[in-house]
Amino acid sequence: MPFLSGVFTLNAKVKTFFLLSVFFPLVGLFASPHELQFGSLVSKENTYRDTLNPFLDYHHNPLSWLQMKAGTGLLVSVKDLEGLNYRFEATATPVPWLSFIIRGSQRAQFPEAFSRTSFLGLTKLQVSPWKEFSFFASFGFYKRWIVLDHANLIPFVNQSSFSQDDFATELGFTSTLSSNLTSLLKVATYDPWEVYNLNNPFVETSFYFGAPEATHKWLATFRYQLLLGFGRLDRMTFGLAYLTQW
């Protein structure tokens, strides 16, 4: 029948349109840049047990101006499994020199049975007066909710015992030392996993081994953290990570 034939033809067109509308965005999603980092941090503590922090970090750019991040890591000492942390982060870069960062993270500390949920918002500026050299600075604010007596893996399962808030900042520069070596030096109060109070900043130097366009790189990090006002070492951290892109 002509009517049924027209209906079948219309349905076929609708199905084709539907498949194309779903297929191409999915292709675009999986074809857009991805980065996977896995490595470990070793921390020499002054007021706590020394820890090993193996981690896994995934970055994805669904849009040219948007980067999504998700990561998780363990904290292990000779004595115990100390804790687990994870985070979700989004970075919007409307112009090359300006970025906006939003991050939520969770840490569960098992031996002491406490957990904390943190929310961080930042504005980052970056300028490159020379091709091999660039400055960056970040300014923002964080709020943290602490739950005592519960090592929660899921945020806000229990009512928070108290909360904290403070400013967060970062200042540093990157320099291209050779075609396969880039260095970074910064002073900051936050890292990919934690946010620290303003009186607990750290100085960090990092080296990326691999050409800027390479899909495989190594990252080596050294950090020296102080507790200002007390004039003593709080923490020394060494890190090594492998980065792969596709």
d(CA 105, CA 190): 12
d(CA 50, CA 78): 8
- 33-245: CATH topology is Lipocalin (2.40.128)
107-121 pLDDT, tens digit each? 999 998 999 999 999
pLDDT score for 234: 80
> Furthest-apart CA pair in the chain: how many Å?
89
pLDDT score for 19: 42
Highest mean pLDDT out of 16-20, 38-42, 45-49, 130-134: 38-42
Structure tokens at 168: 């967060």
Domain coordinates in residue numbering, the chain: 1-31, 33-245
pLDDT score for 226: 87
Chain mean pLDDT for the chain: 88
Can you list the positions of beta strands (E) in 13-132? 34-45, 51-63, 66-76, 81-95, 98-109, 114-130
Q: Give kind and range of the element (H or E) at residue 221.
A: strand 216-227
Other Cβ atoms closer than 10 A to 139:
13
CB 80 within 8 A of CB 106: no
Band of pLDDT at residue 44, cut at 50, 70 and 90: very high
Q: Is the pLDDT of residue 99 over 70?
A: yes
Q: Is the pLDDT of residue 63 over 60?
A: yes
CB 167 within 8 A of CB 185: no
Band of pLDDT at residue 151, cut at 50, 70 and 90: very high
Band of pLDDT at residue 216, cut at 50, 70 and 90: very high
Highest mean pLDDT out of 25-29, 154-158, 224-228: 154-158
Query: Which residue would you say has higher pLDDT here, 213 or 113?
Result: 113
